[in-house]
A and B are shown apart, each in its own frame.
Chain A
């Protein structure tokens, strides 16, 4: 995206550059600190490393005891197995990845299209009992999916949305709209309403004023919010497990989980599938990392 966060949030005459915050401890960082951070890094990163290693090991090496860290034979067979079935057609896993892309993508777009204008309205207009409404909207996120999955399953069965991608898209959008409204309201609050006032005096309608003058300033916020919504939909497991059953509808999380169990588990395949599953979100988050930081610091961005 062509906009930098700084550019988008620097709104007015205030151009004071706050001095960069002093790093804690500076150069004299203690040995203890370094040791603790190293331990933490190892603990956090080891599973990831192990997953990547397993995904490129030959099966012999995967099951070797003691485990081989370095001297194993590298192979890409597992990755091939992720995408191609033994009979040479598309594998069920690759279909589930495609399903995940569609479900996560469409539900995120839907949540953004609905949530951003709602956030704008909550920010700009005097809505009756605004605080209560906003709290209610947020409270829908308090409930973990497992709590509501049974009633939703029953409702979906009535309307025929079980084992249907549309069903997943709708439920993910429903979970992401409140989140989008909350996060985007913070961003809209940061944009002075006077731009819209000025635009209306220039002769634009209120909606045109929003569309032409406020929305472009919200792009970083929208990017950050969309990434979070995307990650939620991409990773979601409970609804996906309960509401889908066929390979053609199933998304990646239950599909990957389904590889484990039975008599033997092909750990190489599981690892390769997990890497493929983790990659898109990592790449996407990397691409919009600047906006993500703006997103998690919300109002803390300098004006």
Chain B
């Protein structure tokens, strides 16, 4: 078992509200990602679960039992700290062994477990070194090993891959997902990298300024963002947002364009809206069912594709295109829109208006 439930947790540091009523339900065995920008309260959330912060309000339940007042050691959790927190005077071996030593395992058990972990994370060569003699990426892997060496109720991981180079990061992502599957344990994984969140998670909770914006599967969060902010934060290149309002069966843009009004919108005429269009739902190759006039603003070749920046009035649309696309800035072109996949948000509240009809 390894369910973790956080209920209405608040935590302030002086005047800063780090957590403002955070509620999360982490099912047993899931890979649960907490995604948010820097300062969103991700680390504070993990520390609250681990029992390292005294909560102002709210509760933490582990396996259905209220653990709000329990000491960290009693919670049976393992954590990878954002700053690694490797013991500076201990060797890598002793660092990894520490959780087992604390639980009085025999030295043969410890040796076996440390060996297994170090080969899994490719740090066998480093076992006799001190943390000060390691690179950032090596320290991060040692920190991971120290957490994974035990079978706790749940693993808490605070941005454990950020310091690795891209190749190793992608490799470790796959490796962690594999470890998660083979252990069947609960992982609560914090990241500010939405690619990581989308590729690894069973469930994503999007956090901003201490408030949970949305919880859902990666597909849900990507396809049906709860609000304008989530839509903008998740997805790369970021979603393009155009100011507009509904008028009868049309959407009229602040920049003068018109599009057919999507069937599913419920917004009354004249209400200030934001039309959200993802780069892959736009095309400069005449694929969609409606179009916007604009002019070429710039090209960002990314190897496997090119992102075309198209200026519509004063706003820039990011359009995904084939890598072979060419053009000169200033050139007039038509952007076709897949309106069935467009998003509408209330410009005032930022909340999505798309849910109801789909």
Contact = CB atoms under 8 A, between A and B. Distances in A.
Interface of A: 7-8, 10-13, 15, 126, 192, 194-195, 197-206, 208, 213, 216-217
B98 interface: yes
B63 to A, nearest CB: 17
B89 A216 contact: yes
B81 A198 contact: yes
Does more than half of chain B's interface fall in helix, strand or loop, or is it mixed? mixed
Interface of B: 47, 50-52, 54, 71-73, 77-79, 81, 83-89, 98-99, 101-103, 131-132, 136, 139, 146
Does more than half of chain A's interface fall in helix, strand or loop, or is it mixed? helix
Given A201-B77, A203-B103, A12 B84 contact: yes
Nearest to B152: A201
A202 B71 contact: no
Contact of A13 (B78, B102, B139): B139
Given A15-B132, A201-B79, A203-B102, A217 B73 contact: no
Contacts of A203: 73, 99, 102-103
B136 A197 contact: no
B103 to A, nearest CB: 5
Contacts of B50: 197, 201
Contacts of A15: 132
A217 B50 CA distance: 24
A197 B87 contact: no
Contacts of B98: 198-199, 202
A194 B83 contact: yes
Of A126, A198, A216, chain B has the most CB atoms within 10 Å of the CB of A198
A201 B155 CA distance: 11
Contacts of A201: 50, 52, 72-73, 77-79, 99
19 contacts: A7-B89, A10-B88, A10-B132, A12-B83, A15-B132, A126-B54, A192-B83, A195-B88, A197-B47, A197-B72, A197-B79, A198-B81, A198-B85, A198-B98, A198-B146, A201-B52, A201-B78, A206-B71, A217-B88
Given A200-B51, A200-B71, A200-B73, 12 more contacts: A8-B89, A11-B88, A194-B83, A195-B87, A197-B47, A198-B146, A199-B98, A201-B52, A201-B72, A201-B99, A202-B73, A217-B88
A11 B87 CA distance: 8
A216 B89 CA distance: 8
A194 B83 CA distance: 8
Contact of B73 (A7, A13, A126, A204): A204
Contacts of B54: 126
A194 B73 CA distance: 14
A60 B349 CA distance: 100
Contacts of A213: 87
B71 A205 contact: yes
A202 B99 contact: yes
Contacts of B84: 12-13
A192 B87 CA distance: 10
B288 to A, nearest CB: 49
A126 B81 CA distance: 22
Of B71, B73, B79, B136, chain A has the most CB atoms within 10 Å of the CB of B73
A192 B86 CA distance: 11
Of B81, B87, B131, chain A has the most CB atoms within 10 Å of the CB of B87
Contacts of B81: 194, 197-198
A133 to B, nearest CB: 18
B73 A205 contact: yes
Given A10-B132, A12-B83, A192-B83, A197 B102 contact: no
Contacts of B77: 201
Contacts of B136: 13
Given A12-B83, A192-B83, A205-B71, A200 B52 contact: yes
Contacts of A204: 73, 102
A197 B49 CA distance: 13
B3 to A, nearest CB: 19
Nearest to A205: B73
Contacts of A208: 102
Q: 8 closest Cβ contacts across the A-B interface?
A: A203-B102, A194-B85, A200-B72, A198-B85, A202-B99, A202-B102, A202-B98, A203-B73
A197 B83 CA distance: 12
Given A194-B83, A197-B81, A217 B89 contact: yes
A197 B88 contact: no
Contacts of B99: 201-203
Of A201, A202, A217, chain B has the most CB atoms within 10 Å of the CB of A201
A198 B73 contact: no
A202 B90 CA distance: 14
A206 B54 CA distance: 14
B15 to A, nearest CB: 15
A203 B152 CA distance: 11
Nearest to A9: B88
Nearest to A198: B85
B10 to A, nearest CB: 16
A54 to B, nearest CB: 48
Contacts of A194: 81, 83, 85
Of B72, B86, B139, chain A has the most CB atoms within 10 Å of the CB of B72
Contacts of B72: 197, 200-201
A198 B87 contact: yes
Contacts of A7: 89
A217 B90 CA distance: 11
A15 B139 CA distance: 13
Nearest to B134: A13
Contacts of B131: 12
